[in-house]
């Protein structure tokens, strides 16, 4: 009997605390779109990825998937092959034709070997056969997000502030600064765009889930937390986090 895919989506509690910690820096400020019409599978994947600190959006048909993938900025798209509205192959081809090169992990069911080849030919970067273990999905997503992230390096530096995405460590003037995982994601996102004004919407889109419960002042509150840790304890150093009134925030001199 075919085992229900849902039962393969194992909670990541199997990981030791250190491995889990090590995974946060890969995943922080990464945003993933899941396009999967089987609600149970889609929601299980979302739950697992959210626990790994990814920001996750879900839609249940190909048409909405294409719309979101075309208008929002994702780091990886998990795309089911058979979908109502528009199938995964067509979604993939349309995205590539429109010059959208977000990495795509295609989900296929057993017995769709020919479709896998077609999926890869259509521009998917990898595929996974259902049913699958959650750990395998996670490993493949990490492999896909690691590619561009390796290009930008693992240590981000602005003035005497450093953020190491491998050690999950932030230092200013050689003093270690303790941050929550959300604060770390926010700081990493700002530091990946130095001297660039980022709007609240951009920040929310990369650091929080699309449907997360966000209050109008959530970003301000977290910027305040960061200032208290990054700028206030160093009054003789230049302030690094700036409010650009009416626009957003930036980090830099």
Binding site for Ca ion (CB under 5 A): 37, 80, 82
Q: How far apart (Å, rounded) are the C-alpha atoms in residues 92 and 97? A: 9
Q: How far apart (Å, rounded) are the C-alpha atoms in residues 198 and 248? A: 5
In the complex, least distance from residue 87 CB atom to Ca ion, rounded to whole angstroms: 9
Q: Report the residue number, 67 or 201, with the smaller CB distance to Ca ion.
A: 67
- Bridge pairing between strands 169-172 and 161-164: antiparallel
In the complex, least distance from residue 143 CB atom to Ca ion, rounded to whole angstroms: 23
Q: Tokens standing for 244?
A: 């650009």
Q: How far apart (Å, rounded) are the C-alpha atoms in residues 100 and 88? A: 15
In the complex, least distance from residue 102 CB atom to Ca ion, rounded to whole angstroms: 20
Q: Report the residue number, 82 or 239, with the smaller CB distance to Ca ion.
A: 82
Q: Report the residue number, 41 or 226, with the smaller CB distance to Ca ion.
A: 41
Residue nearest to Ca ion (CB): 82
Q: Report the residue number, 82 or 120, with the smaller CB distance to Ca ion.
A: 82
Q: Report the residue number, 90 or 218, with the smaller CB distance to Ca ion.
A: 90
- Bridge pairing between strands 31-35 and 55-59: parallel
Q: How far apart (Å, rounded) are the C-alpha atoms in residues 145 and 212? A: 22
Helix (H, G, I), strand (E, B) or coil at 24: helix
């Amino acid at each position: 009997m075919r085992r229900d895919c849902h039962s393969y989506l194992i909670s990541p509690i199997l990981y030791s605390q250190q491995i889990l910690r090590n995974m946060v820096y890969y995943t922080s400020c990464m945003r993933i779109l899941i396009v999967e019409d089987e609600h149970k599978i889609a929601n299980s994947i979302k739950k697992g990825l959210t626990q790994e600190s990814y920001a996750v959006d879900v839609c249940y048909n190909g048409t909405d998937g294409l719309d979101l993938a075309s208008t929002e900025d994702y780091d990886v798209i998990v795309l089911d092959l058979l979908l109502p509205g528009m199938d995964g192959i067509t979604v993939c081809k349309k995205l590539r034709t429109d010059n959208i090169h977000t990495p795509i992990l295609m989900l296929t069911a057993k017995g769709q070997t020919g479709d896998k080849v077609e999926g890869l030919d259509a521009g998917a970067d990898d595929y996974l056969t259902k049913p699958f273990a959650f750990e395998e999905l996670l490993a493949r997503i990490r492999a896909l997000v690691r590619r561009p992230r390796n290009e930008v390096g693992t240590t981000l530096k602005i003035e005497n502030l450093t953020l190491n995405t491998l050690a999950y460590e932030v230092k200013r003037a050689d003093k270690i600064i303790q941050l929550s995982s959300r604060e770390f994601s926010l700081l990493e996102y700002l530091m990946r765009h130095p001297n660039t004004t980022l709007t609240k919407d951009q920040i929310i889109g990369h650091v929080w889930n699309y449907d997360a419960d966000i209050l109008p002042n959530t970003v301000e509150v977290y910027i305040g937390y960061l200032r208290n840790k990054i700028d206030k304890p160093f009054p003789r150093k230049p302030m690094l986090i700036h409010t650009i009134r009416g626009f957003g925030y930036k980090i830099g001199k």
